[in-house]
Amino acid sequence: MNSGVLWQAYAIRIESTEPKSEYDVCIIGGGFSGLWSAHHLLALDPTLRIAIFEAYEFGFGASGRNGGWASSEYPVYRRSLIARIGEARTNQLFEALDSAIDEIGGFADESVGFTKSGSLYFARNDAQVSRLRERVDSSHLWLSASEAKAKLNVDGIKGALFNPNCATINPFNLVSLLIRDVAKRGAELFESSFATAVGGGVLVNNAHIAAPVVIQATEALGSADREFIPLYSLMVATEPLSGSIWSELGNSSRITFAEALHMVNYAQRTLDNRIAIGGRGATYPFGSKLSVAKEKTEKVHATIRSLLISWFPILKDVKFTHAWGGAVAITRNWEPYLQFDKSSGYGRLGGYAGDGVTMSYLASKILAQLIAGKESDLTNLHFVNQRIRKWELEPLRYLAVNSLVKLSGVSDREEARTGRPSLVSKIISPLILR
Ligand SMILES: Cc1cc2nc3c(=O)[nH]c(=O)nc-3n(C[C@H](O)[C@H](O)[C@H](O)COP(=O)(O)OP(=O)(O)OC[C@H]3O[C@@H](n4cnc5c(N)ncnc54)[C@H](O)[C@@H]3O)c2cc1C
C-alpha cells in the first residue's frame, strides 16, 4: 500500500526567491484560505503587493489532502442555526454558500474535475432514516429506498437525503491552479517559510517583513490557544475500479456520498474512477498537540475500509492503494471564525470543522472585502467578527472530546444492531452541538 496522499501525485513547483522587506499584505499559510485570500484581494485591487508564506509546501495542510466535497453544508445543521440566529440570517448564509460553490466551479479548470451533481446521505437502518428525515428542507430532499438505490447501489439502503448543492473536486489540483492564478497576478509565494505575525508585519527566519495587513490562514496547523481543537480525519483510496464494477455500483454522475452515522464519513468517485473515502474516529490529542501519528492510525483506516466494503460487498477483494489523514479545526460552537481588526491590520480565518472547501472560499472573499473597506451582504453574515468561545481547560477537554468520539462509534453500532435510535445518541447529540 502506498501510504501517501492520493491527490499529491506530483510536487507543486515554487520558484525560490528571497522575500522583499515590505509588502502591502503578508499571508501566513499556503492552503485554500491563504490562496483564496490573495485571489480575492487581487480581484479587488490588482496593484496590491502580496506575499504568501507556507511553512512546508503549498497544499501541505488539509487543502491538499481532503475529501473533495465542495458542499453547501455548514458544521451546524440548518435547524440548530435557525434557533441561534433566526431564519433570515440562516438563509442568507446558505445562499452565500450555494453561490460560493458555483464561483469555485467557474474558476476551476478540467484538472480540478469540478462536477456538481449533489451529495447523498444514505440510511441503512431505521434510526438513520428518522434522523435524516428530520433534516429534510428546501435543499435536502428525501429519496425513497428505490430512488436512492437508483443513484447509488448501497447494500441495505433504506432511503437517503439528497443535497443538489455539492460538487466533487480534486483538492490538490485546485491548490495548484490557485497558485498559478495568484502568481500570474503578481503575488509572491515562499515555501519552507515558517512565519509569525508580529506588530507591523511578520517574522520569517528571523527577518522582519513589514506589512500593514497580515492574514493568519493556518487553520488546524496554527496555534490553538483553546480557540479550536484539531481533530484528525483519515482517508483511504481504492485502486481505479473497472467499468463493470461501476455499472454495478451506479453513480455515473459522481455524486458524493456518506452514511448517516454519528461518526462523520464522506466518499467520492474520483476522476480516475477510484473511491476515496474518509472518516473521523481518531482520538483527540491531549492539549491539542498536533500529531503525525494520528494521521496514520491503522485502526481507523481499517474501520473506514470495512465501512466501504459493508456498503458495497462487491469490493471485498479490491486493493486499497492509499491511506492518509489530516487535521480539521473545530471551534467550541462549531462555527468558523473570520476576524479583521482594522486598527492593527490583523485578520484571521478558519475553524471550518471539516467543511472548509467551500467555506474557505467564502471566508476569504469576505476577509478581502473587510480589508478593502467594502461593505456587502457578505460582510454582514452572522459569523463575521464573531467572538470565539474558548474550549475547556485540560484534562476536561481531552476527556469530553474523546468520550464523544468513542460514544459516536458505540451509538452507531447499537443502531446498526437494533435499528432504533440509540439512547447514547440522545445523550451525545446535544453535546455535539450540530
Ligand atoms: C482528511 C480531510 C478531509 C477533509 N474533507 C473535506 C471535504 O471533503 N470537504 C470540505 O469542505 N472540507 C474537508 N476538509 C476540511 C478542509 O480541507 C479544510 O477546512 C480546508 O482545507 C482548510 O484550508 P486552510 O487553507 O484554512 O488550511 P490548510 O489547508 O491546513 O492550510 C494551512 C497551511 O498553513 C501552513 N502553516 C501553518 N502554520 C504556519 C506558519 N507558522 N507559517 C507558515 N505556514 C504555516 C500549513 O503548513 C498549511 O499548509 C477535510 C480535511 C481533512 C484533513
Separation of CA 192 from chain center: 24
* DSSP H or E run through 106: helix 87-107
Residue intervals of the chain classified under CATH 3.50.50.60 are: 16-115+171-227+332-391
Separation of CA 381 from chain center: 20
Domain 16-115+171-227+332-391, CATH number (from 3.50.50.60, 3.40.50.2000, 3.40.50.720, 3.30.559.10): 3.50.50.60
What is the pLDDT, as a whole number, of residue 374?
97
Query: What is the whole-number distance in angstroms between the Cα of residue 63 and the centre of ligand 1?
Result: 4
Cell of 97: 454558500
What is the pLDDT, as a whole number, of residue 419?
86
What is the pLDDT, as a whole number, of residue 421?
84
Alpha-carbon gap, residue 337 to 25, rounded angstroms? 20
Q: What sign does the CA torsion over 165, 333, 278, 307 have?
A: negative
Query: What is the whole-number distance in angstroms between the Cα of residue 62 and the centre of ligand 1?
Result: 3
Percent of the chain topping pLDDT 90: 88
Cβ-Cβ contacts under 8 Å for 302 (sequence gap 6 or more): none
What is the pLDDT, as a whole number, of residue 434?
46
Cell of 156: 441495505
> Is residue 235 within 6 Å of ligand 1 at its C-beta?
yes
Among 280, 357, 358, 362, residue to substitute to test ligand 1 (most atoms within 8 Å of Cβ): 357
pTM: 0.96
Closest by Cα among 233, 244, 254, 230 to 351: 230
* Blockwise average pLDDT, block size 10, the chain, 434 residues: 81 89 98 98 98 97 98 94 96 98 98 97 97 94 98 98 98 98 98 96 96 98 93 97 97 96 96 96 93 94 98 98 97 96 97 97 98 97 95 93 89 90 69 50
Which residues does residue 28 pair with via DSSP β-bridges, in sequence order?
53, 216
> Is residue 367 within 6 Å of ligand 1 at its C-beta?
no
391 touches 219 (CB < 8 A): no
Q: Whose CA is nearest to atom 13 of ligand 1?
A: 354
Domain 119-163+229-330, CATH number (from 3.40.50.300, 3.30.9.10, 1.10.3210.10, 3.90.550.10): 3.30.9.10
- Region of 59 on the Ramachandran plot (φ > 0 left; ψ -120 to 50 alpha; else beta): left
Q: Whose CA is nearest to atom 21 of ligand 1?
A: 63
Residue intervals of the chain classified under CATH 3.30.9.10 are: 119-163+229-330
Q: What sign does the CA torsion over 258, 259, 260, 263 have?
A: negative
Cell of 348: 484571521
- Tens-digit pLDDT profile for residues 64-114: 999 999 999 999 999 999 999 999 999 999 999 999 999 999 999 999 999
- Tens-digit pLDDT profile for residues 176-221: 999 999 999 999 999 999 999 998 999 998 999 999 999 999 999 9
Buried b or exposed e, range 216-225, using 16+ CB within 10 angstroms: bbbbbbbebe
